[in-house]
């Protein structure tokens, strides 16, 4: 395979994109006699450090990208487990899309996003490699993803303490992306398989392949084609391509329901988690919402907070959804005054989808979804729309 090269200047623009930092504050350390180049990119909020790996290093660590080391495959990348000479366990994400130009765009998008974030609940980037392809190198997550632990029938059920820890930690990570970064980051693909778990089950948001910067003066992005994962897509995004922080908030609400119930966002019969959970939330039947495998072993106060938060996050109208700051207040810090979040009756009646014909047309023509392509399942699309129509 011929080596891939980034266009001249694109890597430099990535490293020095912050115009607010003076050149005297930047540090660029390069050792031509060494295999690695360390780069420190100061920002006003954090100073992450990562390095460029040589292809020989990651080739050796993954045993030549042996199929036995393949641990995951997504819409445009494969992930391999590797072990460095010093014993460090890494995850190597190799981009696989056919178009070299698209590979570069995806690579720079993810590297330019995750390379400048630093938070305990966001996946940590160790570095990259641009020899013989495009690769991102991360710390390896011992327990895999929330999805792999929560839905693996061979494993013991995840206990409530861990579920609550995952919910709070993910909320903090998402709050950081929306409020704590130099630029607002919209993840666009918050889901159980994109939340990784450290050795002590600390959640870390990962996979920034669909992430978007949102300039401070912008209220939202308008994006086509629609990309994301069925079951987590907010109505305004699924229908009209409108993306802002509330897009992530909606997906987080679905994730909360998934954590509480142990159910997948769309089950084998194509029923959405929302269509099943919404009546229980409306009637306050929270005990029926909880994963039966827990056998009643959960904290009722924590359950009440998580369930109420989920009910706010999955509201059809983005205007009535909370920000992640408000989410954390409800989940952890503040008084949970439910009356403050009550919608007016006319808003509840009118709060729903519109323009289904346009939605169906867009879904059948141009949607590409990772990992599930919406255009390949029209019956699933129709069921998703019908389920959400019931909720509004």
Active-site amino acid positions: 189
| Cis peptide bond upstream of 371, omega within 30 | yes
- The closest alpha carbon to 186, from 222, 210, 203, 167, belongs to 210
| Contact in structure between 116 and 182 (CB atoms under 8 Å) | yes
User: Which one-letter DSSP state was computed for residue 268?
Assistant: T
Torsion of CA 8, 11, 17, 23, to 10 degrees: -90
The helix/strand count (H/E) of the chain reads as 13, 14
Using N-to-C axis directions, what is the helix angle for 378-391 and 356-365, rounded to 10°? 150
DSSP string spanning 41-110? ---SS---EEEEPPHHHHHHHTTTT-GGGEEEE-SSEEEEEEE-TTS-EEEEEEE--S-HHHHHHHHHHH
What does the block give as tokens for 214? 């949102």
CA distances to 172, 196, 286, 325 from 334, in Å = 15, 27, 21, 11
The span from the CA of 322 to the CA of 194, in Å, is 22
Burial (CB count <10 Å: 0-12, 13-18, 19+), residue 119 = buried
SS3 271: coil
Burial (CB count <10 Å: 0-12, 13-18, 19+), residue 243 = buried
47 marked as part of a ligand binding site: no
Binding residues: 93
Numbered residues of the known binding site for ATP: 93
């Amino acid at each position: 395979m011929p080596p891939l090269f980034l266009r001249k200047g694109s890597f430099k623009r990535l490293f020095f994109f912050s115009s607010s930092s003076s050149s005297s504050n930047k540090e660029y350390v390069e050792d031509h006699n060494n295999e690695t180049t360390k780069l420190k990119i100061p920002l006003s909020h954090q100073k992450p450090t990562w390095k460029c790996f040589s292809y020989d290093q990651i080739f050796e660590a993954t045993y030549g990208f042996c199929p036995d080391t393949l641990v995951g495959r997504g819409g445009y990348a494969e992930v391999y487990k590797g072990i460095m000479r010093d014993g460090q366990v890494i995850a190597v994400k190799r981009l696989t899309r056919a178009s070299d130009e698209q590979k570069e765009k995806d690579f720079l998008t993810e590297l330019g996003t995750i390379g400048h974030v630093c938070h305990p609940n966001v996946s940590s980037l160790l570095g990259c490699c641009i020899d013989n392809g495009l690769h991102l190198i991360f710390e390896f997550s011992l327990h895999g993803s929330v999805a792999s632990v929560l839905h693996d029938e061979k494993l013991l059920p995840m206990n409530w303490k861990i579920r609550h820890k995952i919910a709070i930690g993910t909320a903090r990570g998402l709050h950081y992306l929306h409020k704590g970064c130099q630029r607002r980051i919209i993840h666009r693909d918050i889901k159980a398989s994109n939340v990784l778990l450290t050795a002590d089950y600390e959640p870390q948001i990962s996979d920034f392949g669909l992430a978007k910067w949102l300039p401070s003066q912008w209220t939202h992005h308008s994006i086509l084609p629609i990309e994301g994962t069925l079951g987590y897509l907010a109505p305004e995004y699924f229908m009209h391509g409108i993306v802002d922080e509330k897009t992530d908030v909606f997906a987080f609400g679905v994730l909360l329901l998934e954590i509480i119930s142990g159910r997948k966002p769309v089950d084998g019969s194509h029923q959405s988690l929302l269509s099943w959970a919404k009546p229980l939330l409306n009637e306050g039947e929270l005990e029926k919402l909880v994963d039966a495998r827990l056998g009643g072993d959960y904290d009722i106060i924590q359950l009440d907070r998580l369930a109420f938060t989920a009910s706010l996050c999955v509201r059809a109208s983005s205007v009535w959804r909370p920000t992640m700051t408000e989410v954390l207040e409800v989940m952890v810090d503040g008084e949970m005054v439910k009356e403050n979040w009550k919608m007016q009756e006319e808003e509840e009646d009118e709060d729903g989808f519109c323009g289904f014909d346009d939605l169906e047309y867009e879904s059948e023509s141009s949607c590409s979804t990772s990992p599930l392509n919406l255009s390949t399942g029209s019956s699933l699309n129709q069921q998703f729309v019908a389920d959400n129509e019931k909720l509004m």
